[in-house]
Chains A and B, each alone.
Chain A
Amino acid sequence: MRSVLRRIFVASLLKRRLGSALSLLSIALGVALGLAVQIIHGAALAEFGQGVRRMSGVADLQVVGPREGFDEALYVRLAQRPEVAEASPVVEVDALVPGLSAPLRILGVDLFRVAAVEPQLLPVAEDKVGAGAGAESDRLAALRQDAVFLSAEAEASLFDDQGGVGTSAPRRLTVQSGLRLQELEVAGKLPGARARIGVMDIAAAQDSFDRAGLLTRIDLRLAAGVTPGQALAALTPLLPAGVVLRTVDEAATEAANLSRAYRVNLNMLAAIALLTGGFLVFSAQWLAVVRRRREFAVLRALGLERGQLVRGLLAEGATLGCAGGLLGVALGHGLAALAFRFAGADLGAGFFQGVVPALHFDPLSSTAYLLLGIAAGVGGTWAPAREAARVVPARALHAAGLPASAGGSGQGRTFAALAVLAAAVAASLLPAVGGIPVGGYASVVLILAAAILALPPLAMLASRLLAAGRWPVWRLVRARFVASPQQVVVAAAGVVASVALASAMAIMVNSFRLSVDDWLTQVLPADLYLRASSASASGYLDDAALQRIRALPGVAGVDAVRAINLRLDADSTPVTLLARPVAQGWGLPLVDGTRTPAHDARRPPAWISEAIADARALKPGDRLDLPIAGALHAFTVAGIWRDYARQHGAVVIERADYVALSGDGRINDISLRLADVGDGDRVASALRELFGSDRVEIARPGEIRAVTLQIFDRTFLITYLMEAVAVAIGLFGIATTFAAQAATRKGEFGMLRHLGFTRRDVGRLLALEGSLACLMGVLAGLLGGGGVSVVLVEVINRQSFHWSMDYAVPWRALGLFALGLVVLAGVVARLAGAHAMRRSAVLVVKEDW
C-alpha cells in the first residue's frame, strides 16, 4: 500500500504540477495569513502584557484610577496599612513633545520606593566619571527636577543621532504642559525598561505636568502572609470612587480585551482565506479524479480496495495540505516579520502604540495552523475521493472519454441551500458570548455554505435564462454549461467564497466609511478647531485662553471641550468623559434621546455613546453614576449617540456641570465659529501667534476629516490585503480547473479544430467558459456577500464594537469588481488552457485519454 500510495497517488501530484502548485499555494496563503495574524497579535499582546507586568515589577496589586489621577493622600494611607509591605506611587503622563506626533510616556516615580516594587524603572545616571569637576553636580541627577531618564526605545525615537556616550553635550528634551514648554535634561538611561518611556522624580513630574497632589497608579507589594484576596477586601473600602484595585494580571488582560474583537475579525478573514484554499483543493482534486477514472478503474480491477482508493486520495490531499501548511507556516512568520517592520504590531489599527514586539517562533500556533492546512487538503479531497470510490470500474473502463455528467439534482440543492440559509438567519439572532459575536460568525459560515450550495441551482437557472445565440462557440459553451453545472461548481467554488468575503467586506467598509463621514460632518460643525493635546497627553488650555480666543477679531463663538478618562467600575476598561456645551453647543450625532432634556439640577444630563448603552443596557431616562473627582455623582441619561472614535465608550456631559463638580477648568479642544468662514487662515495665524505655533494644533474640519478617514483607511488596509489574497485564490480555482480540463479536453478541442474551429475560436470558447463559471461564482458570491455584509454590519460590528452604521452598498465598485473578475477569469481560463490550443494538440484526436 505504501508504494502504491507513493507511486500512484502522491506521484500524481507531481505530474499535474500547475494544479498542485496552485492548491498548495492557496493553502499556504490561507495558513500564512491566519498564522501571521495570530503571531502578530500574540506577540503584541504578550509584549503588551509583559510590558504591563514589567512596568508593574514585582507588585502584587495595583491601584489605578482615571488617567488624570487621584488624590495622593491614598498613597499615604495605603503605605501605612499592615497588609502593605511596600507601596510605590507613580504619576504617568503622556508628555507632549513639540514636533513629535507621539507623546512620550513619562513615569514620575519615588526613587526610594521604586527599587522594591518596580526595579525595572530604576534610572542609571549617564556615566560622567572622568568628565572633570563639573561632573560632581550631576551626581544627584536622579532627583533633579529637570532630569529625565530614557529607555533605549524612547531615546531612539526622540533623538535620531545616536552620538557617542559622554561625547555630546547633555541632551535636552522639550515637553509641553498646558501651553507651557519645559526643558528637561536627559540625565541617563533605564536599562531595565523595555518600552518607550521616560522616568522622572515623582515631585518633578507632578510639578512639570501640573499634577500636584495627584497620582495615577500605586503599585503594592503585600506583606508576607497576606493574600491578594485579603488585601482586596481590606483595602478596597479605602478607595475613592473611580479608583480600583486590581491584580497585575487583570491589567494585562485589559489590553487583550481591547483588541480582542479586532483580532477575532482578522482571524475570521484568515479562516475564510484558508477555506477558499480548501475549495481550491476540492476543485483540483475533483478534476484529477475525473481525469483519472480509468487509472482508478485499472487499479480497482487489479485489486485495489475501495477504501484504499479513498485513503490514497485523501493522502494526496493531506500531502498537499501538509506541504502547503509548512510553506504557510514559513510564510506566516515572514509576513509577521514584515508587518512588525512596516505596519507595527497592531497592523495599523492603533491598539498597541509604543509596543515593540519581537518575532518568535510560535510552535503551538504553527502546529495548529499546519493541522488546519492538512485539514483543508483532506477536506477538499473528501468529496472527490468518495466520488472516485463510487465509480464502477467496469463502466469506467468501458465508457472511454465520456465521464458521467456529475450534476446533482438542482432541486435538492436549492432546498439544502435554503435550509442552510434559514440556519444562518437563526444563528445571526443569537447574542454575543463574552463580547464575541459567535452567532454572527456561525451565520457567516452558514451563509457561505448556502452560497456554494446555491451555485448549481443558480447555474441551472442562469442556463435557462441564457439567450440561445447562434454563434457556435457560444452554443457549445452554453450546452456544456447547461449539461454539467457541476463543472461550474468545481471551477467556481473558490470564487464564491472569496467574492462573498470581498463583497461583504466592501459593503461593510463602505457602510462604515459613509457613516463615519456622515458622523464627522455632524461632530465637526465648527469652522476651526484648536487643541493643546488629546485627552490623555499633557497639553491643555484654560478659561483664560478661551477668553483670549473669544476676543480675537473674526471669531463669532467658541466652545470648549474637556476630555478625561474614568472607570465606571472595577472590572471595566476606562471610558472617556467629554465635558462640553451640548444644548447650545456643537452637534451630537444622537441615535436616541434629546439634546435638550428637562432641567434637573440634582441629576444633570449625560449623553452616552452606543458602546456604553450596549454594555450597561442603558436607555434615555436611566440613572448613570459617574466617578468625578473621587466621588460618585448621579446623572440622567438624556440621549445615546453614535461614536466611532472611542470603542470603549464615551460619556458627554455639560462642561458647566463638570466644572462645578470637579473644579477642573482645563480644556483640551476649543471649537471656533467664525464670522466669515473665509477668514480661517487669518484667524489660524492669529491663534498661532497667541499661543506659539508649536504648542497648539489648529485644524479645520476638512483636515480632521481627511486625517480621520486616512486613519480609517489604514485600519482597513490589512483587510483589503486579505481580500485580495482570497480573490486571487478564487481565481487560482478557475486557473486550476481550466488547466486540468485543458488536458482532459484535448480531444474535444482537436475535434473542434477538425470541424473548422479556428485556434482563436477555441480560445474564445475557453475564455467564455471561464467567464461564465466565474460569473456564476461571482453571482452566488455577491448574493452570499450581501448576506454576510448584513451580518457584519448588524450583528458582528454591533456586538464586537458597539457601532451602528447605515447600510450602504457600493454598487459601482462591486459592479466593476464583478466585471473585472469575470473578465479576468476569462483571461485566466484561456491562459490556463493555452497548451490545449497548440498545433500539435490536433494530433490528440487519435489519443484515447
Chain B
Amino acid sequence: MRHSPSPRWMEQGSGGFVHAILHRLQAVLFLLFATLAALPPAAAADFATVRPDVALSFPRDLGAHPAFRTEWWYVTGWITDETGSDRGFQVTFFRVRTGIGERSASRFAPTQLVLAHAAIADPAAGRLQHGERAERALPPLAGAEEGRTRAWIRDWLLEWDGTRYRARASTDAFSFELDFVPGDAPLLNGRGGFSRKAPDPRHASHYYSRPQLNVDGTLTLDGRRHVVRGSAWLDHEWSSELMPERANGWDWIGINLHEGGSLMAFRMRDGDGQPMWTALTFVEKGHIRRGEGQDAVRFVPLRVWRSPRTGAAYPVEWRLELPPAEPGERTRQLRLVPLMDDQELDSSRSTGAIYWEGAVRLLETTDDAGAGEADGVSREIGRGYLEMTGYANRPRM
C-alpha cells in the first residue's frame, strides 16, 4: 500500500529562476496528482475491477496492467556500504490510468502516466532525501511494459531481466544503481494475490511481494560513490478502487527476517483511528501464515514522534500483536523501531501528501515468563520498511 508520489520534478540546484516558479508548479501538480484515486466512483466503471477469481500468473503479471487505474512496483530495503554504515532506500514506479484521452489519436494522449519516486534514509543526514519524476507514458521516453517488469522515465528505471531486478534513479543529491536477486517465487498476499483493503470486497487489489531480495550495487551520495549490499523487498500491486471512502489512512510494514522469512502487515484506519481492516502475510521457517479481517494483526503505538515541520504526530515505534494462529497459541508480540525518527516526507506543496515512510528494525522480546516486555531483552529479528499515512492529512492515490 503506497501513497501517491510527490513529483517535485525539479531537484535542487536548477537555479534561482526555477526555484522562483516552483511554487506555482507545485500548485498545479497538487491539482493534477492529488486526485488520481479520488475520481468519482462512476468513472471507475471504465476501469478493470479486481476480482477474487482471477489467478495471478507469472511472468505475465510481473508486467503492467494498464486496464487498472493504479499500479506500482515498490522496492524498499536496507543497504550497507563498504564502511558498514546502514541506510534505507526506496524506489517506486507508479502507473496511473487517468481515464483521460482514451479515444485520442495522439501519441501524447495522457491515458497512462508513469511516476517515480526515490528516497534515501541516511542517519548521517538525519532526514530523508528524495526525488521524483513524472511523465505521460510515451515509449521510448517513459512507460510501463506489459508482460515483464519494466517501468522507466528517461534514465530512471526498474526492470526485470529474468533473473534479477535492476533499479536506477538519480537526483541532484544522490543516485543509485542496484540489482536485486530474488531467492523465491513471488509471494502472493491475501487470497491468491487478491488482497482486500476493507470489509467491502470492492476495495481490493492484486498484490504480490518479493521479499528477501539480495541487493548489490552502487550508491552515490554527496558526490561519494559507495559499493553497497543489503536486503530489499518488492511489492507489486494493482487496483482500481483501493481506498474506501471512510478510510483515513493506513499503516504498513514489509520486513525481511534475518532467518529467512518475511512479514507483511497492514491496517486501514477509519476517521477515528480505529482499524477497519487488517491483513498479514507471515513467512517463518518455511511456514506461510496469511490473515485478513478486522483483527488479523494489531498495531499498538508505543512512542510518538512529532514532526517539527508539519506538527504531525507519528507513532514511530510500534508493538505488533499477532493473534494466535491456532487455538491455544500465545499472542506473538513484536516491536518496530525506526532507523531514525525523522523519516517524514512532506510533499504538501506538490502532491499534498505528508506521510512517514522509513527504515525500521523488527525486534522480538525474549520470552521470559511473567516478565513485561519492557523488561525483557529485545533481539532484532528483521529489517524492513514502515509506512504510515493519514497522520497529517488523508492520503490520495
Question: B21-51 vs A: 1/0 string, CB under 8 Å?
Answer: 1001101100110111011100100000000
How far is A206 from B108 in the complex, measured between Cα atoms in Å?
Answer: 9
Are B28's CB and A140's CB within 8 A? Answer: no
How far is A720 from B352 in the complex, measured between Cα atoms in Å?
Answer: 61
Tell me, rounded to whole Å, the shortest Cβ–Cβ distance linking B102 to chain A.
Answer: 9
Q: Is A102 interfacial (CB 8 A cutoff)? A: no
Q: Is A342 interfacial (CB 8 A cutoff)? A: no
Residues in A neighbouring B163, C-beta threshold 8 A = none
Q: Is B110 interfacial (CB 8 A cutoff)? A: yes
Are A139's CB and B35's CB within 8 A? Answer: yes
Are B21's CB and A122's CB within 8 A? Answer: yes
How many residues on chain B are close to A (CB under 8 Å)?
A: 37
Q: Is A119 interfacial (CB 8 A cutoff)? A: yes
Residues 133-155 (chain A) with a chain B CB within 8 angstroms: 136-137, 139-145
Question: A186-205 vs B: 1/0 string, CB under 8 Å?
Answer: 00000110000000011110
Residues in B neighbouring A58, C-beta threshold 8 A = 15, 17-18
Are A192's CB and B136's CB within 8 A? Answer: no
Residues in B neighbouring A89, C-beta threshold 8 A = 108
Tell me, rounded to whole Å, the shortest Cβ–Cβ distance linking B154 to chain A.
Answer: 8
Residues 98-114 (chain B) with a chain A CB within 8 angstroms: 98, 100-101, 104-110
Q: Is B56 interfacial (CB 8 A cutoff)? A: no
Residues 192-226 (chain A) with a chain B CB within 8 angstroms: 192, 201-204, 206-207, 212-213
Tell me, rounded to whole Å, the shortest Cβ–Cβ distance linking A84 to chain B.
Answer: 10
Tell me, rounded to whole Å, the shortest Cβ–Cβ distance linking B111 to chain A.
Answer: 9
Are B104's CB and A207's CB within 8 A? Answer: yes
Q: Is A72 interfacial (CB 8 A cutoff)? A: yes
Are B106's CB and A143's CB within 8 A? Answer: no
Are B135's CB and A112's CB within 8 A? Answer: yes
Residues in B neighbouring A212, C-beta threshold 8 A = 105-106
Are A143's CB and B32's CB within 8 A? Answer: yes
Q: Is A80 interfacial (CB 8 A cutoff)? A: yes
Residues in A neighbouring B109, C-beta threshold 8 A = 203, 207
User: Which of B18, B40, B140 is within 8 Å of A119, CB to CB?
Assistant: B18
Residues in B neighbouring A207, C-beta threshold 8 A = 101, 104-106, 109
Are A80's CB and B140's CB within 8 A? Answer: yes
Q: Is B381 interfacial (CB 8 A cutoff)? A: no
How far is A800 from B98 in the complex, measured between Cα atoms in Å?
Answer: 54
Are A124's CB and B24's CB within 8 A? Answer: yes
User: Which of B27, B106, B140 is within 8 Å of A203, CB to CB?
Assistant: B106
Residue of A111, A113, A191 with highest tally of chain B CB at under 10 A: A111
Tell me, rounded to whole Å, the shortest Cβ–Cβ distance linking B340 to chain A.
Answer: 32
Q: Is A110 interfacial (CB 8 A cutoff)? A: yes
Known: A112-B135, A206-B106. A142 touches B28 (CB 8 A): yes
Q: Is A125 interfacial (CB 8 A cutoff)? A: yes
Q: Is B345 interfacial (CB 8 A cutoff)? A: no
How far is A76 from B106 in the complex, measured between Cα atoms in Å?
Answer: 14
Residues in B neighbouring A111, C-beta threshold 8 A = 28, 32
User: Which of B14, B35, B140 is within 8 Å of A140, CB to CB?
Assistant: B35
Residues in A neighbouring B154, C-beta threshold 8 A = 79
Tell me, rounded to whole Å, the shortest Cβ–Cβ distance linking B316 to chain A.
Answer: 32
How far is A805 from B349 in the complex, measured between Cα atoms in Å?
Answer: 63
Are B101's CB and A204's CB within 8 A? Answer: yes
How far is A72 from B98 in the complex, measured between Cα atoms in Å?
Answer: 23
Are B104's CB and A203's CB within 8 A? Answer: yes
Are B35's CB and A72's CB within 8 A? Answer: no
Are B34's CB and A80's CB within 8 A? Answer: no
Q: Name the residue on A nearest B108 (C-beta).
A: A203
Are B105's CB and A119's CB within 8 A? Answer: no
How far is A58 from B17 in the complex, measured between Cα atoms in Å?
Answer: 9
Q: Is B227 interfacial (CB 8 A cutoff)? A: no
Are B18's CB and A79's CB within 8 A? Answer: no
Chain A residues touching B, majority SS:
helix
Chain B residues touching A, majority SS:
loop
Residue of A80, A139, A213 with highest tally of chain B CB at under 10 A: A139
Q: Is B134 interfacial (CB 8 A cutoff)? A: yes
How far is A545 from B15 in the complex, measured between Cα atoms in Å?
Answer: 53
Q: Name the residue on B nearest A213 (C-beta).
A: B107
Q: Is B67 interfacial (CB 8 A cutoff)? A: no
Residues in B neighbouring A140, C-beta threshold 8 A = 31-32, 35-36, 39, 98, 100
Q: Is B325 interfacial (CB 8 A cutoff)? A: no
Residues in A neighbouring B32, C-beta threshold 8 A = 111, 139-140, 142-143
Are B101's CB and A143's CB within 8 A? Answer: yes
Residues in A neighbouring B27, C-beta threshold 8 A = 124
Tell me, rounded to whole Å, the shortest Cβ–Cβ distance linking A839 to chain B.
Answer: 77
Are A115's CB and B25's CB within 8 A? Answer: yes
Known: A116-B9, A201-B110. A125 touches B18 (CB 8 A): no
Are B28's CB and A203's CB within 8 A? Answer: no
Residues in A neighbouring B14, C-beta threshold 8 A = 116
How far is A139 from B397 in the complex, measured between Cα atoms in Å?
Answer: 13
Are B31's CB and A142's CB within 8 A? Answer: yes
Residues 105-126 (chain B) with a chain A CB within 8 angstroms: 105-110
Residues in A neighbouring B35, C-beta threshold 8 A = 136, 139-140
Residues in A neighbouring B98, C-beta threshold 8 A = 140, 143
Q: Is A123 interfacial (CB 8 A cutoff)? A: yes
Tell me, rounded to whole Å, the shortest Cβ–Cβ distance linking A146 to chain B.
Answer: 10
Are B39's CB and A112's CB within 8 A? Answer: no
Tell me, rounded to whole Å, the shortest Cβ–Cβ distance linking A669 to chain B.
Answer: 27
How far is A145 from B106 in the complex, measured between Cα atoms in Å?
Answer: 11
Residues in B neighbouring A141, C-beta threshold 8 A = 31
Residue of A89, A113, A144, A207 with highest tally of chain B CB at under 10 A: A207
Residues in B neighbouring A139, C-beta threshold 8 A = 31-32, 34-35, 38
Q: Is B312 interfacial (CB 8 A cutoff)? A: no
Tell me, rounded to whole Å, the shortest Cβ–Cβ distance linking B25 to chain A.
Answer: 5
Known: A80-B140, A119-B21. A143 touches B100 (CB 8 A): yes
Q: List 29 A-B contacts (CB under 8 A).
A: A76-B140, A80-B140, A89-B108, A110-B136, A111-B28, A111-B32, A112-B136, A113-B135, A115-B10, A116-B10, A119-B18, A119-B24, A137-B39, A140-B31, A140-B98, A142-B28, A143-B101, A145-B100, A145-B104, A191-B24, A202-B108, A203-B101, A203-B106, A203-B110, A204-B101, A206-B104, A206-B105, A212-B105, A212-B106
Contact surface of A with B, Cβ cutoff 8 Å = 58, 72, 76, 79-80, 89, 110-113, 115-116, 119-120, 122-125, 136-137, 139-145, 191-192, 201-204, 206-207, 212-213
Which 4 pairs of residues, A with B, have the shortest CB-CB distance? A139-B35, A203-B106, A119-B21, A203-B108
Contact surface of B with A, Cβ cutoff 8 Å = 9-10, 14-15, 17-18, 21, 24-25, 27-28, 31-32, 34-36, 38-40, 43, 98, 100-101, 104-110, 134-136, 138, 140-141, 154
For the complex with contacts A76-B141, A206-B104, 17 further pairs of A-B residues with Cβ separation under 8 Å are A58-B18, A76-B140, A79-B141, A89-B108, A110-B136, A111-B32, A112-B135, A116-B10, A116-B14, A122-B24, A124-B24, A124-B27, A137-B39, A140-B39, A142-B32, A203-B110, A206-B108
